[in-house]
Amino acid sequence: MLNEAYITGITKYLPNEPVSNDEMEDYLGMINNSPSRARRIVLRNNGITTRYYALKKGGIPTHNNAELAAIAVNQLFNERFKKEDLELLVCGTASPDQIMPSHASMVHGLLDVPSIEIASFAGSCCASMQALKYAYLSVSTGNTRNAVCTGSEMLSHWMLAKYFENETQNESKLKDNPLLAFEKEFLRWMLSDGAGALLIENKPAKTLSLKIEWIDIKSYANEMETCMYVGAEKNENGQLQGWCRYEPEEWLTKSIFSMKQDTRMLGQYIVPLGGQFLKDIINKRNLDIESIDYFLPHLSSEFFREHIYTELSKLGINIPKEKWFTNLSKVGNVATVSFILMLEELIRTRVLKTGQKILIQVPESARFTYAYALLTVC
């Protein structure tokens, strides 16, 4: 690498006011005009108490995804880093406003900045980590002196009741096995909206900066079938078929555009694969896990916290729980934005010291991709 790369700015934007558990159906609506019998069970398992929606009550949109990202980016500009200084914009999302143009194109179009290089990453939770790695490599190789990376989500618009087919809810089964709640019901009561932005530069700022030591990402799609999907459906052979393979009337009757998860696969693989990847990283990079001061795992649900801790312990990876830092309960699961929201709150609420190390973990269940990043406080 020609240069070091540093995170020198971090912002967030959470739209409107926090939404409590009891208010959720006021925004998302009721399927078949009936209150969900599974909602309280799902919320008790995922541990979320408030989240944010780019909606008014009644499901009325207040923002689109690109607008959320643009608001977060604009907060980065100041006297030291002006709009005309920006050289690269890299955006990640799981919920773009359209198939094309690209998400980064739409965000760029909302910013009062010059013509610049852009890149878009789409997918699921790892999209913004992939965006961050692109920005990191651009700055560290000298391709650009700076870059802005965003994560943004507008998932509530996909969770509106009108997009879901009639479904039978079995409350007793949900009580017996919380993993069953990870179908459409789980995702409806977990996912939320927001945006975050990171400024990456080739020199540290005078204020607190975070040096990017490395970012490692691995896909297991060569081994694993699809687990979470939207805009598609699995056929009788378990193969994924995209929305264009279905007739328009089936888009609603089969709820093609609702998010779905294969809960069997999720429960069996999401934690072990992520643990094994970290074990591989420790061996490859000779990482002293005891040197980690803060561990920021992106939890899709509090249900997984103890499972992750137990799995890492079995692998000989001891990260004491007092080093864990999360904010899922307050902001919800904002997919690609979640690690940015954790990092922003960590910097804002803790007194960080030079030399401290931060390990970030982002799992993605779509077809099982994992990302880890190591940062050092400067």
The pLDDT tens digits of the residues spanning 150-195 come to: 999 999 998 888 876 544 444 444 455 444 334 566 788 889 999 9
Structure confidence at residue 102 as a pLDDT band (50, 70, 90): very high
Q: Is residue 88 part of a domain?
A: yes
199 and 284 co-located in one domain: no
Weakest mean pLDDT among 61-75, 176-190, 314-328: 176-190
Q: What is the predicted pLDDT for the residue at 167?
A: 43
Q: What is the predicted pLDDT for the residue at 182?
A: 42
| pTM, full prediction | 0.93
Q: What is the CATH number of the domain that holds 300?
A: 3.40.47.10
Q: Is residue 80 part of a domain?
A: yes
Please identify, among 207, 240, 272, the residue that sits at the C-terminal boundary of a domain: 207
202 and 85 co-located in one domain: yes
368 and 267 co-located in one domain: yes
Distance CA 135, CA 169 (A): 44
Q: Is residue 234 part of a domain?
A: no
Q: Is residue 91 part of a domain?
A: yes
Domain that holds residue 331: 212-219+263-377
Q: What is the predicted pLDDT for the residue at 1?
A: 64
Q: What is the mean pLDDT of the chain?
A: 92
175 and 60 co-located in one domain: yes
Asked if residue 29 has pLDDT above 60, the reply is yes
Q: Is residue 247 part of a domain?
A: no
Please identify, among 207, 239, 255, the residue that sits at the C-terminal boundary of a domain: 207
287 and 186 co-located in one domain: no
273 and 192 co-located in one domain: no
Q: Is residue 106 part of a domain?
A: yes
Q: Is residue 224 part of a domain?
A: no
202 and 307 co-located in one domain: no
Q: Is residue 229 part of a domain?
A: no
Weakest mean pLDDT among 28-32, 35-39, 113-117, 353-357: 35-39
Distance CA 15, CA 135 (A): 26
51 and 174 co-located in one domain: yes
Asked if residue 263 has pLDDT above 80, the reply is no
Of 103, 49, 127, 50, the residue nearest 335 (C-alpha) = 127
Please identify, among 160, 179, 207, the residue that sits at the C-terminal boundary of a domain: 207
180 and 299 co-located in one domain: no
Locate 167 and state its tokens: 């479904």
Locate 135 and state its tokens: 């920005």
196 and 271 co-located in one domain: no
180 and 271 co-located in one domain: no
180 and 274 co-located in one domain: no
**Tens of pLDDT along 333-362?**
999 999 999 999 999 999 999 999 999 999
Q: How many structural domains compose the chain?
A: 2
